[in-house]
Amino acid sequence: MKRTTALATGILLALFAVSSFSFAQAPKVQNMPTYDQSPYHFGFILAGNTMYFSIDPKANFQDDIYAGDAVSNLNLDEASIYGIEGISTYGFSVGIVGNLRLGKYSDLRFVPSLAFGERKLQYTLKGTKGADTSLITIDDNIQSTFIDLPLHIKYKSKRMHNMRAYVFTGPKVSIDLATQKDDEQDQNPLNLELNRNDVYLDIGVGFDWYFSFFKFGTELKMSYGLMNMIKREDNIYTQGIDNLRSKIFQLSFTFE
């Protein structure tokens, strides 16, 4: 979590530094001076992302003891949850940009995308077998392929030669095409199923650079999942979690 936040902060500072340099070096003649007067335009987006889960465990979850069917696939007499952690991993996205001009400093953007990524849940369990007690670590790598349907309002600054800064926000509907399914050949005893659909709130900041024949943009976006993604099952892995929400940081490059 701290590493992801630090990375996002560093990228944002780098964007500001690059934009300041670009402004200082900007030519006196504007490229595509009437570009923003067009009622609509299109483009495409390439992005890298980091995905992880934000976990809210149940109160006093470490005090609950699970036995019988709840730990049947662990070959233990009983177990309790010692800790649960969401670990971030990296992925990428590709998509199409549709931009509708609302006013001099505002646009409506629809950016349907296909996102690939993986999230990891790491459980540390305290297990008992006969007279022996030990800590067991179990990882579940949850691979996802999302269809993302975001609708954003983009607020732009005044154009400074061939550069313009902007912020944006809006909702995003996400459909996971690769939800976890039972796999008899999977040797991992943890096979956690999640809800397929999610709704996010996106917020971000970026910069547009105007070139002779196209506009290039860089932006940093944070997506906060609004829905609880976990499916309740009668096992140790779901009973200790109150809320499981998705969070995504994305660095994007747009060509319009």
Q: Which CATH number is 84's domain given? A: 2.40.160.20
How many other C-beta atoms can be found within 10 angstroms of the C-beta atom of residue 148?
21
Domain of 234 in residue numbering reads as 2-255
pLDDT by 10s per residue, the chain, length 256: 545 555 555 555 555 554 554 444 544 688 999 999 999 999 999 999 999 999 998 888 888 888 877 777 777 788 888 888 988 889 999 999 999 999 999 999 999 999 999 888 888 888 888 778 888 888 888 888 999 999 999 999 999 999 999 999 999 999 998 765 444 444 445 567 788 899 999 999 999 999 999 999 999 999 999 999 988 777 788 888 889 999 999 999 999 9
| Angstrom distance (rounded) from CA 60 to CA 115 | 36
Residue whose structure tokens are 């952690």? 85
Q: How large is the greatest C-alpha to C-alpha distance in the chain, in angstroms?
A: 80
Output the six-digit token pair for 44.
């495409």
Residue 78 near residue 128, CB atoms below 8 Å: yes
Beta strands in 104-131 (DSSP E): 106-110, 113-129
**Structural domain count, the chain:** 1
| Among candidate residues 120, 121, 135, the one with its CA nearest the CA of residue 62 | 135
